[in-house]
């Protein structure tokens, strides 16, 4: 029996179609497929439009030269995105190890399969139409196509570099520092780092023979990856779990909270010790900067109705992103929680405190927005109070309907974040976002800005004062959904 690329692909196919609820997954895949299609078409148009935009904006320069100046950032971002999102498909090969298949073939299968990654397609789809346009408009076909292949080779090199750096975050941090440092040196201290690299790419364009160097480099990385994989293809090497360092063991300050402290400690440890949770918290950090898009533009500053969105995201990023997966975060051991000496009230209360605590932290971290004026700050604080009192409760409520289990220590793949995605959560985004806007906008429309803010604050305080009653009501829904949730989590 020969282990071929087709067989390797066939295994992936079976894994998908024989998974539980594959119909649902298929539906989600189709939805995501449309999303990917959208991006692909967008890139296609970007590729075609790029040439004309650049020629119009910088008529005295060759569009390819302009790209050459900046392309290092594209490749840097490519590496970073791959580091965070691309999973080398090495985990499925355990069963193949003891079969009569030469290791070389297994490795080839793994490496070929990795080429189908969406990141490679983006490069092709962006560059192919661009190069076609260039070759029609400029005519210098020979130069542009060798440049095109050089770019593809670099993309391919990135693809395999991910294998080599996958378990080493220093490389990712190094890349980030190199790009940021290069930019700062270039534009603030006049040290030509980025432009030297740009000249290198320009040389590659003008002197097609340089592609041989790129090719050599690509082949070297290819070979390196193959030998690396061959070495790692043992149960106690690359296929083994990495031993993790213990972090966050001292959280004594939470002991003061009594019985709730134990639950809160767990949640904090859950966040810092699991890949999936860390990814979600990273998104929260991005949400903190969300206001920069709106507050920097004059048009929005006169439309507080829209600014409310920014305020809600800044102060409630964690409540929304982390909150939507309550109780799925505990799905791996939910049966234990349900049969231990822990009633729903205490469980939900600890989650509510965590969410409320996160709003306070976000509000403190958002203080620098004071730079954009008092009005912006008042708006953020208003949104914060709303999220503190009511937003956290709404998130908790929506969680009762989320019975999709979550694998804690597994990365969510790019465009494959299907595990926690479901339609109900999508619908629940509406009260989370629209309600605060209404609460602000109606009094604002009739009585002005201050009345709108007062509306946010009163509803937040109302939620806070009646939290025990509302929590009791949410608890009933959790009780009602208990068996359903357990059955889904134990699948």
By the rule CB under 8 A, 343 interacts with another protein: yes
Query: Which of 119, 347 has the CB closer to another protein?
Result: 347
| Burial class of residue 403 in the structure, from the number of CB atoms within 10 Å of its CB (0-12 exposed, 13-18 middle, 19+ buried) | buried
Number of chain positions touching another protein (CB under 8 A): 34
308: burial class by Cβ within 10 Å (0-12, 13-18, 19+)? buried
- Residue choice 61, 168, 207, 340 for contact with another protein (CB under 8 A): 340
Q: Smaller CB distance to another protein: residue 203 or 255?
A: 255
Does 325 bind another protein (CB under 8 A)? Our answer is no
CB burial readout 423-445, b (16+ within 10 A) else e: eebeebeebbbebbbebbbebbe
Candidates 76, 174, 181, 261: give the one binding another protein (CB under 8 A): 261
- Given the rule CB under 8 A, which of 74-82, 259-267, 315-323, 434-442 is the region that contacts another protein? 259-267
Residue of the chain from 339, 364, 374, 446 that contacts another protein (CB under 8 A):
339
Q: In angstroms, give the least distance from the CB of 490 to another protein.
A: 7
- Residue 472-491 contact track with another protein, rule CB under 8 A, x = bound: ----------xx--xx--x-
Q: In angstroms, rounded to a whole number, what is the distance separating the alpha carbons of residues 193 and 180?
A: 11
Q: Is 338 a binder of another protein (CB under 8 A)?
A: yes
* 114: CB partners within 8 A, 6+ apart: 86, 88, 89, 159, 160, 162, 163
Say how far apart CA 252 and CA 297 lie, in whole Å.
44
Q: What's the rounded Cα separation, in Å, for the pair 287 and 273?
A: 22
User: Least distance from C-beta 470 to another protein, angstroms?
Assistant: 19
Among 76, 174, 208, 262, binds another protein (CB under 8 A): 262
Contact letters for another protein, residues 157-196 (x by CB under 8 A) = ----------------------------------------
Single residue of 344, 369, 388, 478 touching another protein by CB under 8 A: 344
Interface stretch with another protein, choices 106-114, 125-133, 283-291, 333-341 (CB under 8 A): 333-341
Cα dihedral: 173, 174, 175, 180 (round 10): 90
Decide: 160 and 225 in contact? Cβ < 8 Å.
yes
- Which residues, numbered 281-320, are part of the site for another protein (CB under 8 A)? none
Sign of the torsion angle spanned by Cα atoms 321, 323, 325, 328: positive
What are the phi and psi torsion angles at 20 (to 5°)? -60, 145
Among residues 98, 99, 189, 246, the one that binds another protein under rule CB under 8 A: 246
Nearer to another protein, 79 or 271 (CB): 271
**Can the peptide bond before residue 327 be classed as cis, meaning omega within 30 degrees of 0?**
yes
CB 437 within 8 A of CB 454: no
Task: Single out the residue of 117, 274, 315, 398 in contact with another protein (rule: CB under 8 A).
Answer: 274
Which residue's entry shows tokens 């439309």?
303
Single residue of 1, 13, 190, 249 touching another protein by CB under 8 A: 249
Residue found under tokens 């780092």:
193
Interacting residue ranges for another protein, rule: CB under 8 A = 241, 243-244, 246, 249, 255, 259, 261-263, 265-266, 269-270, 273-274, 332-333, 335-336, 338-344, 408-409, 482-483, 486-487, 490
């Amino acid at each position: 029996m020969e282990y071929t690329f087709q067989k390797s692909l066939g295994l992936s196919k079976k894994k998908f179609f024989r998974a539980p609820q594959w119909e649902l997954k298929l539906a989600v895949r189709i939805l995501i497929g449309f999303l990917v299609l959208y991006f692909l078409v967008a890139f296609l148009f970007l590729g075609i439009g790029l040439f004309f935009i650049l020629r119009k904006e910088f008529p005295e320069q060759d569009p390819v030269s302009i790209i050459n100046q900046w392309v290092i950032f594209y490749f840097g971002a490519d590496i970073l995105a791959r580091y965070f999102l691309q999973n080398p498909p090495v985990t499925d090969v355990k069963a193949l190890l003891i079969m009569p298949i030469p290791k070389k073939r297994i490795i080839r299968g793994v490496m070929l399969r990795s080429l189908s990654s969406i990141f490679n397609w983006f490069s092709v789809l962006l560059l192919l139409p661009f190069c076609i346009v260039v070759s029609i408009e400029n005519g210098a076909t020979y130069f542009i196509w060798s440049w095109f292949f050089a770019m593809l080779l670099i993309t391919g090199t990135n693809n395999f570099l991910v294998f080599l750096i996958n378990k080493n975050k220093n490389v990712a941090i190094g890349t980030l520092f190199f790009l940021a440092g290069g930019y700062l040196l270039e534009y603030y201290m006049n040290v030509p780092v980025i432009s030297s690299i740009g000249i290198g790419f320009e040389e590659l364009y003008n002197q097609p023979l340089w592609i041989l160097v790129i090719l050599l480099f690509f082949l070297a990385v290819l070979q390196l990856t193959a030998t690396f994989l061959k070495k790692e293809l043992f149960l106690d090497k690359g296929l083994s779990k990495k031993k993790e360092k213990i972090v966050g063991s001292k959280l004594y300050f939470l002991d003061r909270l009594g019985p709730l402290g134990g639950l809160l400690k767990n949640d904090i440890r859950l966040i810092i010790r699991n890949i999936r949770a860390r990814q979600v918290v990273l998104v929260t950090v991005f949400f903190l900067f969300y206001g920069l898009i709106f507050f920097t533009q004059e048009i929005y500053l006169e439309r507080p109705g829209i600014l409310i969105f920014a305020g809600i995201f800044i102060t409630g990023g964690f409540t929304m992103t982390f909150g939507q997966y309550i109780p799925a975060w505990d799905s791996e051991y939910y049966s234990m929680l349900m049969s231990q000496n822990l009633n729903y009230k205490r469980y939900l209360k600890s989650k509510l405190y965590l969410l409320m605590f996160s709003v306070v932290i976000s509000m403190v971290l958002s203080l620098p927005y004071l730079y954009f004026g008092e009005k912006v700050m008042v708006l953020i604080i208003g949104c914060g109070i709303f999220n503190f009192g009511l937003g956290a409760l709404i998130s908790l409520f929506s969680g009762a309907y989320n019975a999709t289990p979550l694998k804690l220590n597994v990365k969510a793949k790019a465009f494959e974040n299907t595990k926690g995605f479901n339609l109900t959560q999508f619908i629940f985004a509406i009260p989370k976002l629209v309600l605060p806007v209404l609460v602000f906008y109606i009094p604002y429309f009739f009585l002005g800005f201050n009345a709108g803010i007062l509306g946010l604050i009163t509803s937040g305080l109302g939620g806070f004062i009646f939290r025990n009653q509302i929590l009791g009501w949410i608890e009933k829904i959790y009780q009602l959904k208990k068996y359903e949730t357990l059955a889904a989590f134990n699948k």
